[in-house]
Structure 1
C-alpha cells in the first residue's frame, strides 16, 4: 500500500528537532545514538588509530627485485616482507619502476610502501594465485589468493604515491563473470557454470565447512584485489588502484581499518571500490572512487553463510570522499545477512551521469539482516540516474531471491543534502508489509530536479523536515 501526501507544518526549533529525532526512535532502544549521532562518530574516530611502524626500510631491490614489468618478483617481495616482520617491522620499499609479481602476502608490522613513480603489476595468470581462505560475494571458501592479502595479522599497511595495477581486462579475469560486455563469448567457462558459483552457494546452504569449499583453478571465481582478513589495525593510504579482477578493497572480519586518500579507478564487473564486511571501526576518508560497481558497499555476509558467521559490520565512517561512476555512492548490501549498524557519511561529493544512486540499502528475503542507524549529512550531489535515497528490500540478482528471512531497515537520517538532478525520484523505498521500513528522516534536503519526489511502499514514519523538491516544500506522507 502506497503512502499518500498530506499537509502538515513543522515549526520545530533546532532543540525541538533534536528531541523529535530521539522521541521518534525511542521505542527502538536507539535513543542514545539518535540523540547525538555525530558525537558517537567522534568516539569511533578516536578509537581508530592508524598503525605505526619501526623506522627501518627493506627495499625489494635488495632482495632481488628487477624493474621493467617482465620478471616475476614474487620471491623478492616475499623475502623482503619476511625479513621486515622478523626484525620487528618497518617499511618494505617499492622504488620507482614497474615491478611484476604474483600475490603479495603481508605480515605483522609491515608497511608495503610504494614510492612516487612505483607501480606494482600483478600477474594475470590465475595459476600464480594459490588457495587461501577468502570469500566470494559474501560466502567464505578456499579460492585464489587476493592480489594483496593479510590473514589474521596486526599492524599492516599499504602506503605511498605509487600505483597498484591488477592488469585485469576483458582478456583475463573480467570475462569470468560471464557477461559479453566484459569479453565472455559462447563456449568460454565462467563463474555461473553449475559447478562454480552455484555450487558454492549450495554448499553454504548445506553447512559444508569452509575448508571443504575448495575452488581456485578452473572455478572462475575472481579474487579480491586487497583483502585484510581477520586483521587488527590496518591502513591503506595514498595509493592509486586500477584494473581490479573483482572487489577492490575488502576488509573482512577486521577491526580498526583506515582507508585514506586512496584513488580507485576500475571499471570491471563487480569492481566495488571498498567493501567492509563483518568489520568494525572502519574509516574511509579523502578517497576518490570511479568504479564499475558500487563506490563503497558495506557488507555482512550472504544467506546461510551470513547466518553461520553472525557478525555485524558496525561503526563505519565515510567522509570527504568523491564518488564518480558507480552503481551507488554509499551502499549497504546486498550481502547484509549479519547486519549493519552505525554508519556515518559526511562531506562527500557524488556526481556523474554514470552514477546510479547516492545512498542505497538493498536486501531481499533470502538475505534478511538488520540495518540500523545510518546518518548522512553535508552531501553535494550533482547528477545521479535513479534517485538520491533507495531502500530496496526486494533486490533481485541470480534469479529467485525470495525466502523466509525478511530484512529490516530502521533509523535512516539524511540532512543538509543538496542535489541538482536526482533522476527519477528523491526517495524510492519498498519494504515488506510484515516488517515495514521504519524511521526515515530527510532534513534540510534540497533537490532541484526529480521526476517524482518519492515513491514508497510499506514505510513507517517517513518524515520530511524543511525539504524541497522541484522548488516545492515536501510534506510528510500520512500513514494509512
Structure 2
C-alpha cells in the first residue's frame, strides 16, 4: 500500500601552579584508558568526472518552477551511465523529494539554493523510521536506500522548508514574533501556547504515537494526520560510502541529517542550521551507523547538535545495530540542547566513539549522555578530549539515566519534579553506561560542572575525567554511580554548598581538586556509599568539610594528603 522509504571560547584566568595538562595526564591511571592512537578507518567515495547539469533536463532557477522531475531524472541518468557529477548551478531551485543513487555526486555551485517546496502534497507517505522505531512519515526531501558511493558536495544551500511543517511554542518566541506567526495562518492548541500549521498537524499532536505502524491503521487514518508526520530533511538508509561536504543544510522539518544503518560516512565542513526554537530540530543524528568521520563542521540548531542513536526500546534491541567506530573532531556547536550527545534512543548500543578538539558555545548542555529505563542497550568506550565550552545553560558534562523527553532547560514558569528513587529488577530493558574517558575540558560558564545520575539497580560506572577547568554555579554531583574518578580539576563555583555532592556512590576517587572557596566541601547522602577518597586537595579553604545524611556513615569518606 505504501512505498517504503529506502528508509572557543574565552578561557578565564587559572593560576599556572594548578596543574599542567600534558604532564599530569600521562601520570594518572585514567590516562591508560585514553586511546586516540588507533582510530577507525572510514572508506572514502570516488566519482567519475563526467558532469551533467540539471539545465539539460529543463530545470529552471526562477523560484517558481517545480524541478523535482528534472533533478531526479538527471541523477537517474547519471547513475545508469556509471556515475559522475550532477550539477546544481547558481540560482533558486524549487523542488520536491530527491532520491540519491549510487556513484552520483550531487554538487551545488556557489550561490545555489535548493529550496524544497512547502506543498505537502509533493511528499508521499512512506514507511520510515522516527525516533528509533518504524513509523509512517512524509517522504524525506533527500533520501536514499541501499545505495553505495554517493555524495552531496559543493558550496550551496539546501533548505527543507521546515517552517511550514513545525509546531512552535509561544514561550520560545518574542511577542512580535508570535504575532507575526499567528498572522501567517495556522491554528492554536487549546491552551493557546502552541501554534500548529494546520488542522491535520494539531489532530496528530493529540494522539499517542500516531505514526506508529499498526494493523488497524489504514491509508485514510494516516491521511487525516499527514501534516503531523514531519520528515527529516535527509535520510540515508543502509547506504555505504557516503560523503557530505561543504554544503549548508538548513530549516529541516524535523531532524536535519539522519544517516540510518549507514556505513563509511564522511561529513566534512558542513553547516547544519535551524532556528533555536525548531521542535525536534536536531543537527546530526547518527543512528546504527558504523565507521563515521565528522570534521570541520558547524551546528546551530533547535535540539541536539551532534547525536549518537541506535533505535528505541524493543525495536532498537531487535535491530541490534550499535553506532560504532565514530570520529568527531574540529567542529563547533552553537545553540543546541547538547553539543555532543548520546541517546536517549540508544537501545542498540554505542561504542568506540572519539570526539576531540571541539567547541560548544551557548548549548544547553555540553557533553550529554542520556537514557532511561526501558531502553536497554550498552554505551561504552567513549573518548572525549580537548573540548572548549562557553556559556552553557545547564551542565557542562552530564550523564543521566532518568531522561524524561523534555527540554533540558525549563521554560519560564515550568516546574519539574526530581525523579523518585525506586529499585527495580535488572532486565534487558535496563540501560548500561560505562567506560567513559574524558580529559582536557575547559568550561567558561555553566549551571553545573559535572552531573552523574544512574539508576539504583544499574549504577553508571567507569568514568574517568582528567584535567577539567570549570566556571559554574554548582560543582560536582554524583548519584548512583561507581568507579568514578575525577582528577586535576579546577573549579570556580559560585554556589559551593556543597562543592561536591555524592549520593550512593561507590569507589569514587577525587584527586587534586582545586577551588577558590567553599561553604561546604562534601555532602554525602544515602546508605549505599563506599570507598570515597579525596586526595592531594587543600581542604582548608572550605568553611565546613563534610555533611552526612540519609543513612550515610562518616567512615565512607577518606581524605588523604
Same structural fold, with TM-score higher than 0.5 when normalized by the shorter chain: yes
Please list the CA deviations of residues 375-396 of structure 1 after superposition, one character each: whole Å capped at 9, or x if unmatched: 1101111110111111110111
Work out the CA distance in 1 between the residues paired with 2:285 and 2:222.
22
Q: Does 1:433 align with 2:456?
A: yes
- Tell me how far 1:357 sits from its aligned partner: 0.7
Work out the CA distance in 2 between the residues paired with 1:103 and 1:76.
12
Tell me which residue corresponds to 1:141: 135
Tell me which residue corresponds to 2:346: 336
Tell me which residue corresponds to 2:386: 378
Distance 1:265 1:420, change over 3 A: same
1:458 is paired with a residue whose SS is strand
Which of 69, 73, 77 is residue 71 of structure 2 equivalent to? 77
Tell me which residue corresponds to 2:91: 97
Query: Alignment length, in residue pairs?
Result: 445
- Between structures 1 and 2, the one with greater helix share: 1
- Decide whether the 8 Å contact of 2:269 with 2:297 is kept in 1: yes
Distance 1:470 1:202, change over 3 A: farther
Which of 216, 220, 232 is residue 224 of structure 1 equivalent to? 232
- Tell me how far 1:192 sits from its aligned partner: 7.3
Work out the CA distance in 2 between the residues paired with 1:192 and 1:397.
21
Tell me which residue corresponds to 1:467: 489
Q: Does 1:240 align with 2:251?
A: no
Work out the CA distance in 1 between the residues paired with 2:360 and 2:335.
9
Structure 2: tracts of 5 or more residues without a match: 1-18, 174-180, 191-198, 407-415, 494-512, 516-520, 525-530, 533-555, 557-561
Work out the CA distance in 2 between the residues paired with 1:127 and 1:328.
34
- Decide whether the 8 Å contact of 2:136 with 2:211 is kept in 1: no
For 1:270-289, list aligned pairs within 5 A.
Answer: 270-289=280-299
Distance 1:193 1:456, change over 3 A: same
Which of 30, 34, 37 is residue 35 of structure 2 equivalent to? 37
- Tell me how far 1:218 sits from its aligned partner: 2.6
- Decide whether the 8 Å contact of 1:141 with 1:211 is kept in 2: no
Work out the CA distance in 2 between the residues paired with 1:436 and 1:290.
33
For 1:387-398, list aligned pairs within 5 A.
Answer: 387-397=395-405
Q: Does 1:316 align with 2:326?
A: yes
Distance 1:210 1:441, change over 3 A: farther
- Tell me how far 1:368 sits from its aligned partner: 2.4
Work out the CA distance in 2 between the residues paired with 1:210 and 1:84.
39
- Tell me how far 1:284 sits from its aligned partner: 1.1
For 1:47-446, list aligned pairs within 5 A.
Answer: 47-169=41-163, 172-175=164-167, 185-186=188-189, 188-190=199-201, 193=204, 198-201=209-212, 203=214, 215=222, 218-219=225-226, 220-267=228-275, 268-352=278-362, 355-397=363-405, 405-422=429-446, 424-446=447-469
Tell me which residue corresponds to 2:193: none
- Decide whether the 8 Å contact of 2:309 with 2:323 is kept in 1: yes
Please list the CA deviations of residues 193-239 of structure 1 after superposition, one character each: whole Å capped at 9, or x if unmatched: 47855244585xxxx79999994673311101011100000111000
After TM superposition, the structure 1 stretch with the greater mean CA deviation from structure 2, 146-155 or 132-141, is 132-141
Distance 1:76 1:39, change over 3 A: same
Tell me which residue corresponds to 1:458: 480
Work out the CA distance in 1 between the residues paired with 2:240 and 2:220.
26
2:55 is paired with a residue whose SS is helix
- Decide whether the 8 Å contact of 1:177 with 1:190 is kept in 2: no
- Tell me how far 1:133 sits from its aligned partner: 3.8
1:347 is paired with a residue whose SS is strand
Tell me which residue corresponds to 1:30: none
- Whose radius of gyration is greater, 1 or 2? 2
- Decide whether the 8 Å contact of 1:348 with 1:379 is kept in 2: yes
After TM superposition, the structure 1 stretch with the greater mean CA deviation from structure 2, 266-275 or 176-185, is 176-185
2:74 is paired with a residue whose SS is helix
| TM value normalised by structure 1 | 0.85
- Tell me how far 1:141 sits from its aligned partner: 2.7
Distance 1:451 1:177, change over 3 A: closer
Work out the CA distance in 2 between the residues paired with 1:173 and 1:368.
32
Distance 1:367 1:167, change over 3 A: same
- Structure with the bigger RCO (C-alpha within 8 Å, sep 6+) is 1
- Tell me how far 1:442 sits from its aligned partner: 1.1
Tell me which residue corresponds to 1:29: none
- Decide whether the 8 Å contact of 2:59 with 2:67 is kept in 1: yes
1:39 is paired with a residue whose SS is coil
1:71 is paired with a residue whose SS is strand
Work out the CA distance in 2 between the residues paired with 1:213 and 1:441.
53
Work out the CA distance in 2 between the residues paired with 1:297 and 1:274.
6
| TM value normalised by structure 2 | 0.73
Distance 1:251 1:211, change over 3 A: farther
- Decide whether the 8 Å contact of 2:360 with 2:366 is kept in 1: yes
After TM superposition, the structure 1 stretch with the greater mean CA deviation from structure 2, 463-472 or 296-305, is 463-472
Q: RMSD across aligned C-alpha pairs, in angstroms?
A: 3.1
After TM superposition, the structure 1 stretch with the greater mean CA deviation from structure 2, 464-473 or 330-339, is 464-473
- Decide whether the 8 Å contact of 1:191 with 1:197 is kept in 2: no
